């Protein structure tokens, strides 16, 4: 079985191009018994169209994966691609050193705690916490324990620039979350704490830019690490 290993800002993926079962998803994603990844991306081509599904490390399914879709676009030689996901059709564009994609749905934003905590659905559901300093994840995972099975948790804070850290459903702490960064921008705009229509977030090892146009766009790097054959 052919696979591609890739990452977007340290959020890493195994990309597979054929049908696989739940047991295989778990084994491939395992960092000790398989190839290892935060999420597995399944890309099936039918009638000239690209159908994509995203599987978390624990075998649960995600409707959208921003870093993952940029990595998949990086793999293809075309400048522009369309990928059909459970959240809708995603359009991607290769730029000079980055990949841009447009969000296929309109975000749904609800305030949980005025001006501080937001529930944002952009295909994947996220809790976005606007902090005044770097988060304490032990405290946050205890405080939001009831949400961890269903939603990603994003923490953002501004110390002269907007920083972001992530906890992803079915995985745990990750170095970046592409869909979560879009959700964070939506929360920032909704709260009035972000006024610019283009905002840059600094992850733990890089940066992602969110742009507000007719649709929301994300711009960021994507890296192909390795390719090979999985034989188990």
Query: What's the confidence (pLDDT) of residue 182?
Result: 98
Query: What's the confidence (pLDDT) of residue 113?
Result: 81
Residue 115 above 80 pLDDT?
A: no
- For the question of residue 37 being annotated catalytic, the response is no
Cα torsion 88, 201, 193, 173: sign: positive
- Per residue in 121-175, pLDDT tens? 999 999 999 999 999 999 999 999 999 999 999 999 999 999 999 999 999 999 9
d(CA 1, CA 32): 19
Residue 67 above 90 pLDDT?
A: yes
CATH class given for the domain over 108-219: alpha beta
Query: What's the confidence (pLDDT) of residue 88?
Result: 97
Query: What's the confidence (pLDDT) of residue 143?
Result: 93
Residue 200: pLDDT band with limits 50, 70, 90: very high
* Cα 131 off chain centre by: 21
Catalytic position from the list 65, 71, 155, 186: 65
The answer to whether 59 and 25 are in contact (CB under 8 A) is yes
Domain 2-93+223-229 has CATH 3.10.310.10: yes
Q: What is the pLDDT averaged over residues 195-221?
A: 97
Residue 114 above 80 pLDDT?
A: no
Query: What's the confidence (pLDDT) of residue 187?
Result: 97
Query: What's the confidence (pLDDT) of residue 175?
Result: 98
Query: Which ranges in the chain are annotated with CATH 3.10.310.10?
Result: 2-93+223-229, 108-219
Query: What's the confidence (pLDDT) of residue 232?
Result: 75
* Average of per-residue pLDDT values in the chain: 96
Surface-to-core class of residue 156, CB atoms within 10 Å of its CB (0-12 exposed, 13-18 middle, 19+ buried)? buried
């Amino acid at each position: 079985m052919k696979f591609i290993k890739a990452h977007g800002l340290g959020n890493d993926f195994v990309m597979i191009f054929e049908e696989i079962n739940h047991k295989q998803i778990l084994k491939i994603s395992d960092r000790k018994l398989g190839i290892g990844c935060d999420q597995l991306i399944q890309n099936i081509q039918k009638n000239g169209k690209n159908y994509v599904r995203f599987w978390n490390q624990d075998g649960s399914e995600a409707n959208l994966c921003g870093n993952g879709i940029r990595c998949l676009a990086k793999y293809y030689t075309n400048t522009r691609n369309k990928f059909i996901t459970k959240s809708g059709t995603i359009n991607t564009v290769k730029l000079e050193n980055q990949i841009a994609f447009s969000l296929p749905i309109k975000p749904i934003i609800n305030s949980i705690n005025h001006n501080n905590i937001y529930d944002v659905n952009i295909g994947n559901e996220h809790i976005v916490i606007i902090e005044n300093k770097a988060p304490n994840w032990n405290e946050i995972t205890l405080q939001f324990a009831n949400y961890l099975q269903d939603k990603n948790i994003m923490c953002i804070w501004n110390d002269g620039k907007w920083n972001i850290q992530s906890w992803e459903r079915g995985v745990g702490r990750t170095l970046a979350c592409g869909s979560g960064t879009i959700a964070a921008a939506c929360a920032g705009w909704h709260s009035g704490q972000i006024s610019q229509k283009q905002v840059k977030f600094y992850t733990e090892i890089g940066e992602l830019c969110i742009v507000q146009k007719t649709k929301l766009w994300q711009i960021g790097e994507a890296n192909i690490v390795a390719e090979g054959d999985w034989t188990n």
